[in-house]
Structure formats: structure tokens, C-alpha cells
Chain A
């Protein structure tokens, strides 16, 4: 059973609008969460992280929200740009990054 789930395989958004990517986890021991972005023919690149002591972390156009009681996190991209079109992976870890469990990914398409 997957410990990290991304239930939307794909998402399409108009340029300039908000993109919201969701991630759910089952292991209550997870205390550190990351989002990675992956373009075709490249490795995943780190985007933003959040630890369990916070419920929000912002970095420019990217904000991650964590709801520990619901075991849910989301990535908001505002405004969305065509260059944001990629596959986004959610990852979770216990003990602040000893080992990571990845979700299956969501393919985001930002339409001009």
C-alpha cells in the first residue's frame, strides 16, 4: 500500500491562474515533506520543503501547506507559468530526511 499518494495523475491550468497539487500520506511518523519538479529527460529537482513543526512555507510563487491532522499537504503555484509544466512529486520522510518515500507524481500542464 502506498504511504504517499497523489491522487490526481494530471492537472491542467490556464497561465496566470493558481495550480494546486495535492498529496496525502498514511504514516504518522513522517515529519518532513518535500516537493520535487521533473522535466522530461532530466532528474527531479528540489522545489520546496516543510517540516512538521510548520503548517506553511513560502518561496516566491510556491507555497506548501501542511495539515498534520488530515495527513495532507498541498503545493500552490501562483501565478502559474508555462515553464511550470512538469511532473511534480511529493516526498515524505521521518527523522528529517533519513529516508524518503515518494508519491506517484502529478503531471501539471500550464496552458498559455
Chain B
């Protein structure tokens, strides 16, 4: 099994619908992140959490919310999806000690019609 698992892998939805992307990890890392990838823009940080009681906004948090249900679970919600939220979404984890390295999930491709 993958260290960082994202569900669903692909989702097509309509404008105005509520969508949740889920992430779980088996690495035992405290830190979890949600990134969005768009062509030509690289990976941009949406939200991050350094432990269960800590939630922080990233560069592009508008229109998104997150929930850290447990150390191993971090979900991203789009309360009312819009077409410009069509993108590839990645969850990542890191240990948070010393020189950090992010471990990414395989991604969730979301299309909003």
C-alpha cells in the first residue's frame, strides 16, 4: 500500500456541488499539506497542518476548507465547486524535524463542469 493515499483519484462534478478529497498516511508524520497543480504554475499550497490541532492557510485557500480528523487523515473540501477549481490536487506529508522532505500522494484529478 502507498504511504500517502488519496481518494478519489478522479472526480467529475458540476458547479455548485460540494466535494471532499481525502488523504490518509501511514508514515506517522505530523505534518500534512494540500497542494494544487495547474499547468505552468507548479504546485501551490492550499492548506497545511503541523499537528491535529493546527490548521493554516496557504497561498490559495479561498474557496477551500480542510479538516484534520486524526494524525493520519487530512481532508480537503470544496463547499461549492466552480470551474476554475478544475486541477490536480496533491496531498503531502513531512516529518517536520530537521531538513524536511515532502512525501506526496498520487494525486486527485478534479474536473468541475
Interface set of A (CB-CB < 8 Å, partner B): 4, 6, 9, 32, 34, 36, 41-46, 49, 51, 89, 91, 93, 96-100, 102-105
Interchain CA distance A49-B44 in the complex, whole Å: 19
B90 to chain A, nearest CB (A): 6
Number of B interface residues at 8 Å Cβ cutoff, please give it. 23
Q: Could you list 7 further interchain pairs (A-B, Cβ under 8 angstroms) beyond the known A43-B106, A44-B102, A97-B100? A: A4-B42, A41-B106, A44-B104, A49-B101, A96-B100, A97-B94, A104-B41
Residues of B within 8 A of A105 (CB): 42
* CB <8 Å contact, B101 and A46: yes
Residue of A nearest to B99 (CB): A96
Interchain CA distance A89-B88 in the complex, whole Å: 15
Interchain CA distance A100-B58 in the complex, whole Å: 10
